[in-house]
Amino acid sequence: MKIKTRRYYVYYCLKGALLLARAVPLGVLLFISDHAGRLAFRFLKKYRQTAIDNLDMVFPERKKENAATAEKVFVNFIKNGAEWVKLLSMGPDEVRRMIPEVRGRENLDEVLSGGKGALVMGFHFGNWELLGIGLRVLGYPGSLVARRIYFDRYDSIITGMRARFDAKVIYRDESPKKMLMELRKGNVLGIVPDQDVDSIDGVFVDFFGRPAYTPTAPVKLASAAGTAIVPVFVIRGEDNRHTMVIEKPIRLPERLKDKEEIRSFTQQWSDVLESYVRRYPDQWVWVHKRWKTVPGEKTSA
């Protein structure tokens, strides 16, 4: 009961904060977020240590720099929140100004020209919430696959923001048939699969030289629909404006032979993500325990 009551208190505090923040210019919010992110890094010891430990494991040669990189991760995360708040009152033109440059759009257009949709793969990188909304503003119809928040009032805030831009949501616990239908309409299906979720089917792939349990759903869905996977990144610049980069598609056969072929294609998109995280290490969510599941504890599927 206490947890349920606390949720309502947090919800009403959040609603009040959102109302106040919407009245503040985005530039001011981002300035405040810079300092708030540094404070969060200082006081959220558990998440700070997870981020530093992950960075030290992946970049042992940069140990002197990893704490500063981890701090920037917190700053980026808080800035994402500030931009998310402003999206509640923004229009399409304002979103376009937030993402003034889009590279590789021809890669997505080429896949969509086949009439079988495109599985757009986003990541917890840069400002990932801008990905689905940005594509919708660019004129690409489709849906996002998202995790359901099991408290309706929280969920309504997030879905309400997405609904402003007609970014439809398919929940991860809904039938895969619903996701396939979106692709078969020739639309975009956005999915963010770069975390360790041991409750869903996955395989172990190499990620920064270590086995990482990784969802197989993107490869299976794209193959079943007869379309390609298109990795997309939204990169924050020093001026807090964003660049959307649409990578070359990963093409799959319509019938996957076996688990090893599923693993091979999952490795391909993981390699693309790793290449971007190496280039922009402060823009990925190192606070997540990406290598939590280890071989032997989980049978890959």
Q: Are the beta carbons of 217 and 171 closer than 8 angstroms? A: no
Q: Which residue has the higher pLDDT, 161 or 120?
A: 120
Q: How many other β-carbons are positioned within 10 Å of the β-carbon of residue 284? A: 26
Helices 152-163 and 2-22, interaxial angle, to 10°?
A: 30
- Calculate mean pLDDT across residues 244-249: 98
State what percent of residues in the chain have pLDDT above 70.
87
**Mean pLDDT lowest among 112-126, 187-201, 203-217:** 187-201
Band of the pLDDT at 150, cuts 50, 70, 90? low
Q: Which residue has the higher pLDDT, 82 or 300?
A: 82
Q: What is the per-residue pLDDT for 247?
A: 98
- Calculate mean pLDDT across residues 23-42: 92
Alpha-carbon span 301 to 295, nearest angstrom = 12
Band of the pLDDT at 277, cuts 50, 70, 90? very high
Mean residue pLDDT across the chain:
89
Can you tell me which residue has the tokens 């940005």?
A: 134
Q: What is the per-residue pLDDT for 155?
A: 63
In the predicted model, is pLDDT for residue 53 greater than 50?
yes
State what percent of residues in the chain have pLDDT above 90.
69
- Calculate mean pLDDT across residues 181-199: 93
The CATH classification number of 2-283 equals 3.40.1010.10
**Mean pLDDT lowest among 87-96, 148-157, 205-214, 286-295:** 148-157
Q: Which residue has the higher pLDDT, 4 or 55?
A: 55
- Calculate mean pLDDT across residues 170-186: 92
Q: Which amino acid is at 285?
A: V
pTM for the structure as a whole: 0.91
Q: Are the beta carbons of 266 and 214 closer than 8 angstroms? A: yes
- Calculate mean pLDDT across residues 40-44: 95
In the predicted model, is pLDDT for residue 4 greater than 70?
no
**Residues in contact with 167: Cβ distance below 8 Å, sequence separation at least 6, in sequence order:** 132, 133, 136, 143, 144
Band of the pLDDT at 1, cuts 50, 70, 90? very low
- Calculate mean pLDDT across residues 235-250: 97
